[in-house]
Amino acid sequence: MEKENDSSTKTNAIDDSAYSMETHLIYGKNQSTKWDYAHHVVAPLTSSVIFRLDSVERGAEGFSEFAHSDFLKENSRPIYIYDRLGEPNKDLLEENLAYIEKGEMALTFSTGMGAISGILGILTKTGDEIISHRTMYGCTFSLLNNWYPRYQIKNNQVDLTEAENIYKVLSDKTRVVYFESPANPNLDIIDIGAIRKILDEVNAKRGETEKVYIVVDNTFATPYCQRPIELGADFTIHSLTKGIGGFGTDMGGVVIGRKSFYDALVLYRKDFGAVLNTKAAWTVLTYGLPTLPLRISKQIENAQRIAEFLSSHPKIELVNYPGLPSFRFYELAKKQMKDFKGNFAPGSLLFFALKGNSNEEMRELGRKFMNYAAKNAYTMTLAVSLGHTRTLIEHPASMTHSAVPADKLVESGIHPGGIRLACGLENVNDIIKDLERCLSVI
């Protein structure tokens, strides 16, 4: 009896690599050493911080294996000790996230910011420098510009939509090129392949400890629309709180990338502490990933329609959406943003601004529009975050990007009156009806 229930005695006859990503996201790894699937169909939600060890020797083995992945045999069963070091729900989720992003390994964190702090924490030290795109999420901007200078880590922000701008700030101390594509909130698209090409040339002349790594925040695209590692990135990070989690119930983050960095990253996570909650891991694994293709494909459909509606509206000055042929980065977006079947997948976010005679007037009109929508629109909620079931609008200059000083907004690529719209799953005609009404009154 016992033997029959032991999944290690089963042989995995199914070659899951032959199946599509949509199917894979539902089944995940149908055989995992991280959990015994003899009975459960859905992975159980584990809620145990500690794990019983059979002997002191077994405990010692667990501690010596931890962060020594070279000790681990292929498909060996992990020795779980304490949640902060690793546990089944996170491990199962990590296997699946690595698969979907085409990375060698994935490691989850408590939040997207935890993941960013994790990867930058192991790639940089005092005296090093980072090159980053001028437009990025407000808290990442604050981390790099307010906190890292305390450790003498310098952040050089340039316009990476021109990859050659790297050379303007590159030094012997540069260790990381960091960007989002599409960028939050203005949807700038960065040519990942062009940056790879430059860094391959730079790295060819550098020793192992001096190399420069590419870290791409892929939160806006989600792996459904773009896999940066395939395009040349060394590491991808995500806020799981957004499109991958998808329902706005849990926070999380992940770093996906090179296996040779796994041990350092898991040690860093152990000591700095930003581990993903087991319940959050289970939610993403059970609800987020299996529905990702359905949700994001619907959001793309909605976003495309809304972008077309807004760009033909007389009161609208600007619409940034990667799926609009008039968008500055349309051709590059077509090259980089593709769903699992290779179709153009321009994402679920838009950035737009109302017409006005000055930045101040546009900002004021945007404020009026959002305040009116907050009270009168059924399908648009004034709230931060993105990639959820509901359509969300917000004002980056005064909300998500308030860490960027007002006089730095324009040079950071953020229109002061710009409105960020994150599409949900509603019937798009309802959203357009609400947009039309809100625009008609201001």
C-alpha pair distances (Å), 248 with each of 5, 62, 101: 36, 35, 21
- Shortest spacing between CB 109 and ligand PLP, in angstroms: 9
CB 337 within 8 Å of CB 323: no
- Shortest spacing between CB 363 and ligand PLP, in angstroms: 22
CB atoms closer than 10 angstroms to residue 433: 14
* 242 belongs to the binding site for ligand PLP (CB under 6 A): yes
Q: Return the residue of 241, 278, 311, 348 that touches ligand PLP, per CB under 6 A.
A: 241
Please identify, among the stretches 90-98, 107-115, 300-308, 337-345, the one whose residues bind ligand PLP according to the rule CB under 6 A: 107-115
* 401 belongs to the binding site for ligand PLP (CB under 6 A): no
- Shortest spacing between CB 113 and ligand PLP, in angstroms: 4
- Shortest spacing between CB 341 and ligand PLP, in angstroms: 25
By Cβ distance, which residue is nearest to ligand PLP? 112
CB 198 within 8 Å of CB 169: no
Coil, helix or strand for 318? Answer: strand
CB 255 within 8 Å of CB 111: no
Q: What is the DSSP letter of 78?
A: P
| 177-206 positions binding ligand PLP, by CB under 6 A | 180, 184
* Of residues 111 and 379, the one with the C-beta less far from ligand PLP: 111
Residue that has been written with the tokens 């459909």 in this structure: 301
Which helix or strand (DSSP H or E) is residue 3 part of?
helix 2-5
Alpha helices in 258-358 (DSSP H): 262-272, 278-283, 289-311, 330-336
* 394 belongs to the binding site for ligand PLP (CB under 6 A): no
Please identify, among the stretches 21-29, 48-56, 108-116, 362-370, the one whose residues bind ligand PLP according to the rule CB under 6 A: 108-116
* 112 belongs to the binding site for ligand PLP (CB under 6 A): yes
* Of residues 96 and 222, the one with the C-beta less far from ligand PLP: 222
Please identify, among the stretches 132-140, 280-288, 300-308, 389-397, the one whose residues bind ligand PLP according to the rule CB under 6 A: 132-140
* 141 belongs to the binding site for ligand PLP (CB under 6 A): no
DSSP 184-213: TTT-----HHHHHHHHHHHHHTS-GGG--E
Q: Cα(160)–Cα(192) distance, rounded to whole angstroms?
A: 10
- Shortest spacing between CB 422 and ligand PLP, in angstroms: 9
* Of residues 226 and 241, the one with the C-beta less far from ligand PLP: 241
C-alpha pair distances (Å), 159 with each of 128, 135, 226, 394, 412: 20, 8, 21, 24, 9
* Of residues 284 and 310, the one with the C-beta less far from ligand PLP: 284
* 236 belongs to the binding site for ligand PLP (CB under 6 A): no
- Shortest spacing between CB 217 and ligand PLP, in angstroms: 5
* 253 belongs to the binding site for ligand PLP (CB under 6 A): yes
Q: Cα(163)–Cα(307) distance, rounded to whole angstroms?
A: 27
Q: Return the residue of 219, 226, 283, 379 that touches ligand PLP, per CB under 6 A.
A: 219
CB 195 within 8 Å of CB 163: yes
Which residues contribute to the site for ligand PLP (CB under 6 A)? 111-113, 137, 139-140, 180, 184, 217, 219-220, 239, 241-242, 251, 253
